[in-house]
Chains A and B, each alone.
Chain A
Amino acid sequence: MKSYRSRRIADAVGVTWSFLCAFLAAAVLLIILGYIVVKGAAAINWQFLTQLPHPVGIEGGGVANGIVGSIITVGIAVLIASPIGIMTGLYLALFSRGGFASTVRFLSDVLSGIPSITIGLFAYALLVAPFKHFSALSASFAFAVLMLPLLVRTSEEAIRSVPRAILEGALALGMTTFRSTLRIVLPVAWPSIVTGLLLAIARVAGETAPLLFTAFGSPFWELNPTNPMAVLSLQVFTYAISPYRSQNVQSWGAALLLVVAVLALNLLARVLLRTRIRAAP
C-alpha cells in the first residue's frame, strides 16, 4: 500500500500540473491580446478610423471603408440567418422527438464543422461565378451559413429552458401552439437568443477565408452590397502580406479593432445573460 506521504506528493504534482496548464492557456490569450494592443495601438488614430486607404506606397490613410463594410456584410448576414436560425431552433425545441427534427439537428452539427473556406467556395460557386462579379452579398451569404448552426443550437437551448408550465398555461387558454410559442414562450427566451446571436456575430466578424473570393475587398467607399466591398478582416490579411511597412502597421491596427469589437460583443452577451439569470424567478 502506498504511503500517505507519496499520495500527497502525487496529488500536489497533479494539482500543480493542471494549474500550470490553465495558466499557460490563459497566458497564450493574454500574450496574443497584449501583442495586438502593443502593435496595433501605434496605428490607431482619428485618421485611421475615418479615412479611406491611401494608394499603395503613400503613408497614412485608414480603414473606414473596411469598418463600414464589416458592419454591412455582417448586418445582412444577421438579417438572413436570424429568422431562419431562430425559427429552426424553435421547431427543434417544440418537436424534438421526430425523425425530421433529429435529422435537422444532425445536419446543423455537421454544418458547424465545415471549414469556413469551403463555405466561401460554395458562396462563390452560387453567387459570384454565375454573375462573374464579386459582391458583399455573397460574403453575407457565406457569413449567414456560418452563423446558422450556432443560432439553431443557442435558440433551441434558449427556448427549451423556458419552463414547460408557461407553454401549457398558454395552450390551456386556447391559444394555438404557434401563437403560444411566438407570443409567450419566445419573449421569455429572447435574452438568451440575443446572447447567442451576439456570439455568432463575434464568431463571423473575424472570418477572412470566405471573403477572399466573395467580398474580395475594395479601396473605395462602397455601400452597394452587390459590389465588391472592403471588410476589416480582409484588410488585416492584405495589409499583413503587403511588402510595405506602413501597411503592415495598419494590419495590426485593423486586427486590434476586430479584437475590441469581438470583446465588446462577448461582454455585452455576458451582461445580457446575467440580467436574464437575475430576472428568472
Chain B
Amino acid sequence: MIELATPTRASLESRELNAYYGDHHALADVTLAFRPLAVTALIGPSGCGKTTFLRTLNRIHEIASGARVTGQVLLDEENVYDPSVDPIALRRRVGMVFQRPNPFPTLSIADNVSSGLTKLRGEKRQEAVERALRAVGLWDEVSDRLRSSPLALSGGQQQRLCMARALAVEPEVLLMDEPTSALDPISSANIEELIRRLSDRYTIVIVTHNMQQAARVSDFTAFMLADESGSGRLIESNETNQIFFHPQDRRTEDYISGRFG
C-alpha cells in the first residue's frame, strides 16, 4: 500500500443540525458523532435527507440558492458553520465523491487528479498524482495515458479517478454520496473494496440506498427517515451489526426487513 497522508483522527459530529431548501425543512435535529477512521453508512428510503445531511458536512449544501443550515457540525471540536470558518479550507479537509462520476471533461486524467492541488509544482505534483492514482488502484490502468481525456475511461474507472482527485488533496474525512449507484456490479465491488481499504486512513461517511452495501462496507450505520412533514430525521445509529440484527426502533426493523422503502 502506497503511503498517503498519515492517518489523523479528525472527529466529526453534528449537533441539532437542521437544513432547509427555501421553505422546505429537509433535515431536522440530526445529532450524530462519526467514529474516526471508520466507515459510517447513512441509509434510509428516498427523500429521508441522507444526501442533504452528507452535503451539510462539507457545506456544499449551501451553494444551492435558498439553502440554509442551523445547528452545528463539529470538526475537531470546531463548528464549521462558525462565520470565521472558510468553507474552502473546510472542503480541503472534508473531501467528497458524488453519485455519478464527474471527472472534469476538459482536463486530462493527470490534471483531473491534480486539479485540487494548489501549492505543489513540478515533480512533487506528479508524485502526488501517482500516489493518489495508486491509492485507488488506477495507476496501472492509466499510467500510459495520463495526458488523455478521462471521458474515455469506463464508469468505474471514472469514479475511481474522482476518488483519486478527492484523495490527492489529502483530506481527513471522505464523504461519498451513493458512489456506486451509477456503476455496474463489478465496478461497484471494486469501489466497495477500495472503501474498506481506505477506512484505516480516513473517516468515511457513505450514503447508500443499498442495504447490502451498507452491511458490507460500513462499521457503523445510521438509519434516517422522513417524518410526516417531509423532514429527514435520524432514527437510530449503532454498529452496523447491531442495526441489522438487533435494531432498537420498530421503524428501523421494518426498513431493514424490507417492509417499506
Give A residues with C-beta under 8 Å from B: 96-97, 163, 165-166, 168-177, 183-184, 187-188, 190, 279, 281
Type the 1/0 row for B81-114, where 1 means its CB is closer than 8 Å to any CB of A: 0000000111110011010101111110000000
* Interface residues on chain B, number (Cβ under 8 Å): 27
Q: For chains A and B in complex, what number of residue pairs have CB atoms within 8 angstroms? A: 67
Taking a contact as CB atoms under 8 Å apart, the answer to whether B102 and A174 are in contact is: no
Taking a contact as CB atoms under 8 Å apart, the answer to whether B91 and A188 are in contact is: no
- B66 CB to closest chain A CB, in angstroms? 8
Taking a contact as CB atoms under 8 Å apart, the answer to whether B102 and A168 are in contact is: yes
Taking a contact as CB atoms under 8 Å apart, the answer to whether B115 and A184 are in contact is: yes
- A10 CB to closest chain B CB, in angstroms? 49
Q: Which residues of B contact A281 (CB under 8 A)?
A: 105, 151
In the bound complex, CA of A184 to CA of B106 (Å): 7
In the assembled complex, B65 has its CB within 8 A of some CB on chain A: yes
Indicate whether A172 sits within 8 Å of B96 (C-beta atoms), given known contacts A97-B65, A163-B102, A165-B102: yes
Give B residues with C-beta under 8 Å from A: 58, 60, 63, 65-66, 88-92, 95-96, 98, 100, 102-107, 115-116, 151, 162, 165-166, 169
Chain B: CB-nearest residue to A184: B104
Q: Which residues of A contact B169 (CB under 8 A)?
A: 173-174
> Which residue of B91, B100, B151 contacts A173 across the interface (Cβ within 8 Å)?
B91
Q: List 29 A-B contacts (CB under 8 A).
A: A96-B65, A97-B65, A165-B98, A166-B102, A166-B104, A168-B98, A169-B98, A169-B103, A171-B63, A171-B91, A172-B60, A172-B91, A172-B98, A173-B91, A173-B95, A173-B115, A173-B165, A173-B169, A174-B88, A174-B89, A174-B90, A174-B91, A174-B116, A184-B104, A184-B106, A184-B107, A188-B105, A188-B106, A279-B151
Q: Which residues of A contact B151 (CB under 8 A)?
A: 279, 281
- A205 CB to closest chain B CB, in angstroms? 29
Q: Which residues of B contact A172 (CB under 8 A)?
A: 58, 60, 91, 95-96, 98, 166
Taking a contact as CB atoms under 8 Å apart, the answer to whether A169 and B91 are in contact is: no
In the bound complex, CA of A267 to CA of B204 (Å): 51
In the bound complex, CA of A163 to CA of B101 (Å): 12
Candidate in B102, B162, B169 with the most chain A CB atoms within 10 angstroms: B102
